[in-house]
Structure 1
Amino acid sequence: MERLIEKGLMFGNLIRVNSGAWVSLYNRALKKITGKETAQAEFHIDLSGYSPEIGDELGDMDYLRPDGGNRQFILLTTEQKTAPMLNADLSVLRDVLQGFIAENESQLFSLTARDAVVGEVDDQVWQVSSPADLLNISRLSISADTTGNHVAEADQLTALIDRFRNEPDGWYDDVLIARMIEQAQKTGDVLRHPVDLQHTEFEVPDFWTSDFGGVYVIRSAREPAMIFADPAQQVDVPGKLTLTLDDRNKIAAWLARNALAEPIIAARGADAAPILRQKIDFILVDAATRLGIDTGNASRAELRRAGARMGNQLPPEIRGLAALLRYAEQGGDWPVIDSGDPAYFYAVRATPGPARDLVNRLLSELSPDDVRQMFITHKPLFYRLYQTWDDKKREYVANFLAREYQIDKQGTRDALFGGEPGMTEPASAPAAGPWGASRASLSEAAAVPDIKGPWGG
C-alpha cells in the first residue's frame, strides 16, 4: 500500500494536524468520545476527523464508531469538507457530512475557532440484526456540539432571553437577569452571533453498507431492490426484489427495466472508443500478470502483443469489448451482447438520476478488472483487492491512476459517468422478458430517446 500512499492514491488530501493547539482540542474531543488520548504531536484527519495514525496507535481502526454504534465525528476546521472519508461503512456518509458542514459553515467556523466540534450521525435505527432491518434506515440525523457544550449553553441562554422578553415581570426578576448574565459569559452574544445549527436531517433513499458482507439498498427505482455481495446473507424482504452479485442476468434485467443503466456507446457525451480501449487494457494487464506473460513497459502496443500470445486463454471479455470498439470506430452491425456475455457490465454505465453513483459502484463489482471505475466508485473494494494483486499489476494500476486520474479527477469522472446526477427519476424501460428471468441485452439497456442507430430507441 506504500506505493498508493506515495502517489497520493491513499490517504490523500487529508488535513494535517501539527499545532499544539489543534492536538489539544482533538484530544479533548477524543477523550469525550473514547475516553482515550493520543500521544502523537502530528497526524492527519479525514472529513469525519478520523486519523489512520491514531487508529494504528489505539489498535482500533474504527475508533470513531465505538462499540459498533453510530458514527461519531470531530471537526477542528470547516476545511475538513474537502477531505476524503476513510472507513465509511455507509456510502452516503461523506455526502451527508459535507452537506452538514456546507449548510452550517459560518456557525461551525465560529465554533471551531474556540473549540473542537463533536458530533454523531444517527441512523435512527436501534438495532440492525438482520439485512431486513437496513430498510429502516431512511433518514440520517446529525447532532453536534463543542466539547465545552457551546451549542447547548447557547440554547439555554436563548430560552432565558425568551423568558425575559415574554414574562410580564421579566424586567424585575433579578434572579433571571443574573442567570442571563452568567450564561452570556459562557456563550457570548447569541443575539448578534446566534449559535443555531441548521439542516441536520438528511433523507437516504439509496445506500451501500458494509454490513452483512456488503448490501446495496436502492429504493428510488420504480422497482426497489436489495443486492447482496455475499449470497449467504441474502434474505427475502416483502415488497423488495432481492438479488446477489451472482444473479448477473437478473441484475441486468432489473437495470434495464428500471432504466438505471445504458451502453457507453449510447450515452450522450461519452467518447466511447477511448473508454472501451482502456477497459481492454485493464483486462489484458490482469490476464498477463496471472499467466506470467511479460508486458514490457505495459504500453498499449505491448499489451496487445501479450494478448496475442494468450491464445485460447485470452479473457472472454476482450471479444465483446473489441466488437463494440470496432462498432464505435467503424460502424457496421450492432454487436449482439447480452448479460450472459462477460463483457456486458464492462460496456454499460449508470444513467443520470438519484441512484447514479450507487449503480456505478454496483457495476464496478460486476466488472472487477475495470480498476479505474472501482477506484473512483468503490474505494473499500479497490483497496481490498489491491492487496491480492501481483506486484506488476499493482505497479501498472498505481502509475496509471497517478498519471491519468489524479491530474484531472472531475474531468475523468465527467468523461466516464457524465455530469452530476439530477434528482429526477429516469423513465422506465420496457421489461426485458419475464420477471427477472430473462437476459438483458445492450440494445434493451439503450432504450433512451433521441439515439439514432440500432439502439432500440
Structure 2
Amino acid sequence: MKRLIEKGLMFGNLYHVSSHALVERYNRALEHLTGRRTQLADFHIDLSGYSPEIGDEFGDDLYLNHNGVNRQFILLTTEQKRCPLLNVKFSTSREILKRFITDNETQLFALTATDAVAGELINSVFDISHPARLFDITSIGIEADTTTGTLRHAERLAGLVDRFKTEEDGWFDDVLIAEMIGLAQKSGDITRNPVRLKQKSYDQPDFWTAHFGGAYLFRSVPHPALIAVGDKQGFDGVPLKHVFDLEDRNQIARFLDLNDLVEPIVKARGIDAVAILRQKMDFIVIDAAADLDLDLTGLTRPDIRRLARANADRLPRAYHGLNALLKWAVEGGRWPRIDSSDPAYFYSLRAADTPQRDLVNMLLANLTPLDIRQLFICHKQLFYDLYRTWPETKRAFVADFLDREYQVDKAGARAALFGHEPDMGGRPPPRPVEEIVRRVGPWGAVRR
C-alpha cells in the first residue's frame, strides 16, 4: 500500500494537524468523546477527524466509530469538508457530514476559531446484531457541541433571556440576571452572534453498509430490494420481499431496469462512449496479462492492444462482449445482443441521473471489479481490498496509471460517471470540464 500512499491515492487530501494549539484542541475533544488522548505531536485527519496515525497508536481503527454504527466526529476546521472519509461503514456518512458542515459553515467557522466541535452521527440503533436492524435506520441525527459546551450554554442562555423579557419581575430577579451573565461569559453575545446549528437530521433511505459482509439497501425506489455482497442466505428474516446477492445477475439487472437506475454507456448523451469502452477493455487485458505473469512495465495503449490481439483466445468473455459493442459504436450495423448473463453486461452500463446515482455506481463497481478506474472512484474500500490480492506487476501498473491519468483530470473522469456534481468543497465544477470531456473523453485522453 506504500506505493498508493506515496502517489496520494491512499490517505490523500487529509488535513495536517501540526500546531500545538490544534493538537491540544483535538485531545480535549478526543478525551470528551472517548476518554483517551494521543501522544503524537502531529498527525493527519479525515472528514470526521479520524487519524490513521492515531488509529495505529491506539491499535484501533474504529476509535471514533465504535461497533461501526454511530460515527463520532471531531471538527477542527471547516476545511475538513474537503477531506475523504476513511473506514466507511455506511455509504451515506460522508455526504451527511459534508452537508452538515456546509449547512452550518458560518457557525462552525466561528466555533472552531477557539475550540474543537465534537459530535456524533446518531442512528436509532446502537448495535447491529441482525441484518433486520438495518431497516431500523431511516434517518441520521447529529449531536454536536464544543468541548466547553458553547452551544449548550447558548441554548440555556436563550431560554433565560426569554424569561427575562416575559416574566413580570424579570428585571428584579438577581439570581436570573447573575445566571445570564455567567452563561454569556461562556457563550458570547447570542443577540449579536447567535450560535445555533441548522439541519441536524438527514434521511437515509438507501445506502451501502460494510456490515454482514456488505449490502446495498434500496428502499425509496418503486421496487425495493436488498443486494448482498456475500451469500443472501445470511439476510433471511429481513422485512423485504426481494433479497439478491451478486450471483443473481438476472434479478439485479431486472431490478435496475424496473427502477430506471441505469443507462447503457453507448446511449448516454454527452460522453465519448468509444473511449470509455476501449478503456474498460484495456483494463480487462491488463488483468489477464497479470494472470499470465506478463511484464506490464511501461505499457502504452498500443502495447495493450497488441497484447489483446496476441492473446485473444485467453481473454475473458467480458472483453469479447465489449469488443462487439465497440464495433457497433464505431461501425454501426447489427446491435450486439448482450444480456445480463453475459459478463460484459454490467460493464456496459452507468448509473442514470437519479437520487440513487452514487449508490448505483458503487454497486456497478462491485459487479465490474476489472474496471479499476471506476472501482477506485466509486468503491475505494473494495479497491484497496482487491489491490492487496493482485500480483505485483498489476499493482505497479494500476498505481502508475491512476497517478498519471486520473489524478491529472479527476473532474473529467467524475463528470462521465456522476454528471455535473459539486467538488469536495461544495463548488460547482469549472466550465472547462465539459470541453475536456468532449475533447478527450470522460476517462482521459485516448490515443487512436
**CA 1:108/1:201 → structure 2, altered by over 3 Å: closer, same or farther?**
same
d(CA) in 2 for partners of 1:274 and 1:63? 43
Tell me the equivalent position of 1:452.
none
CA-based RMSD:
1.4
**CA 1:367/1:92 → structure 2, altered by over 3 Å: closer, same or farther?**
same
Tell me the equivalent position of 1:2.
2
What is the DSSP-based 3-state SS (H/G/I as helix, E as strand, rest coil) of the residue aligned with 2:267?
coil
Instruction: Give the conservation status (yes or no) of the 8 Å contact 1:280–1:321.
Output: yes
Shift of 1:313: 1.9
d(CA) in 1 for partners of 2:156 and 2:238? 45
TM-score by length of 2: 0.91
What is the DSSP-based 3-state SS (H/G/I as helix, E as strand, rest coil) of the residue aligned with 2:64?
coil
Shift of 1:104: 0.6
Instruction: Give the conservation status (yes or no) of the 8 Å contact 1:275–1:416.
Output: no
Instruction: Give the conservation status (yes or no) of the 8 Å contact 1:213–1:233.
Output: no
Instruction: Give the conservation status (yes or no) of the 8 Å contact 2:287–2:394.
Output: yes
Structure 1 residue 57 and structure 2 residue 57: aligned?
A: yes
Structure 1 residue 394 and structure 2 residue 392: aligned?
A: no
Matches within 5 A, 1:254-273: 254-273=255-274
Tell me the equivalent position of 2:302.
301
**Cα deviations across residues 279-333 of structure 1 (Å, max 9, x unaligned)?**
0110000100111223452212222222233353221111110111111111111
Instruction: Give the conservation status (yes or no) of the 8 Å contact 1:55–1:62.
Output: yes
Shift of 1:239: 4.1
Matches within 5 A, 1:197-346: 197-231=197-231, 232-346=233-347
What is the DSSP-based 3-state SS (H/G/I as helix, E as strand, rest coil) of the residue aligned with 1:408?
helix
Instruction: Give the conservation status (yes or no) of the 8 Å contact 2:322–2:344.
Output: yes
What is the DSSP-based 3-state SS (H/G/I as helix, E as strand, rest coil) of the residue aligned with 2:294?
coil
Instruction: Give the conservation status (yes or no) of the 8 Å contact 1:119–1:142.
Output: yes
d(CA) in 2 for partners of 1:106 and 1:337? 52
Tell me the equivalent position of 1:112.
112
Instruction: Give the conservation status (yes or no) of the 8 Å contact 2:150–2:187.
Output: yes
**Cα deviations across residues 338-385 of structure 1 (Å, max 9, x unaligned)?**
111111110111111011110110011111100100111101100110
Instruction: Give the conservation status (yes or no) of the 8 Å contact 1:294–1:306.
Output: no
Shift of 1:235: 2.0
d(CA) in 1 for partners of 2:48 and 2:20? 20
Tell me the equivalent position of 2:189.
189
**Cα deviations across residues 222-261 of structure 1 (Å, max 9, x unaligned)?**
1011100011423253444110011111111111122111
Percent identity between the two aligned chains: 56
Structure 1 residue 40 and structure 2 residue 31: aligned?
A: no
What is the DSSP-based 3-state SS (H/G/I as helix, E as strand, rest coil) of the residue aligned with 1:406?
helix
Matches within 5 A, 1:410-449: 410-420=411-421
Instruction: Give the conservation status (yes or no) of the 8 Å contact 1:295–1:306.
Output: no
Instruction: Give the conservation status (yes or no) of the 8 Å contact 1:293–1:306.
Output: no
What is the DSSP-based 3-state SS (H/G/I as helix, E as strand, rest coil) of the residue aligned with 1:265?
helix
Tell me the equivalent position of 2:428.
none
**CA 1:34/1:150 → structure 2, altered by over 3 Å: closer, same or farther?**
same
d(CA) in 1 for partners of 2:127 and 2:32? 24
**Counterpart amino acid of residue 245 in structure 1:** L
Instruction: Give the conservation status (yes or no) of the 8 Å contact 2:328–2:336.
Output: yes
Unaligned runs of 5+ in 2: 423-448
Between stretches 51-60 and 237-246, larger displacement belongs to: 237-246
Shift of 1:409: 1.3
What is the DSSP-based 3-state SS (H/G/I as helix, E as strand, rest coil) of the residue aligned with 1:259?
coil
**Cα deviations across residues 72-92 of structure 1 (Å, max 9, x unaligned)?**
000000110111111111101
**Counterpart amino acid of residue 6 in structure 1:** E
**Cα deviations across residues 65-108 of structure 1 (Å, max 9, x unaligned)?**
13545110000001101111111111011110010001111111
What is the DSSP-based 3-state SS (H/G/I as helix, E as strand, rest coil) of the residue aligned with 1:98?
helix
Shift of 1:180: 0.9
Instruction: Give the conservation status (yes or no) of the 8 Å contact 1:65–1:71.
Output: yes
TM-score by length of 1: 0.90
d(CA) in 2 for partners of 1:112 and 1:57? 25
Instruction: Give the conservation status (yes or no) of the 8 Å contact 1:270–1:416.
Output: no
Tell me the equivalent position of 1:160.
160
d(CA) in 1 for partners of 2:410 and 2:87? 21
Instruction: Give the conservation status (yes or no) of the 8 Å contact 2:48–2:74.
Output: yes
Count of aligned residue pairs for this structure pair: 421
Matches within 5 A, 1:375-394: 375-394=376-395
Tell me the equivalent position of 2:129.
129
d(CA) in 1 for partners of 2:253 and 2:291? 28
**CA 1:76/1:238 → structure 2, altered by over 3 Å: closer, same or farther?**
closer
Find runs of 4+ consecutive structure 1 residues off by over 6 angstroms.
none
d(CA) in 1 for partners of 2:213 and 2:268? 32
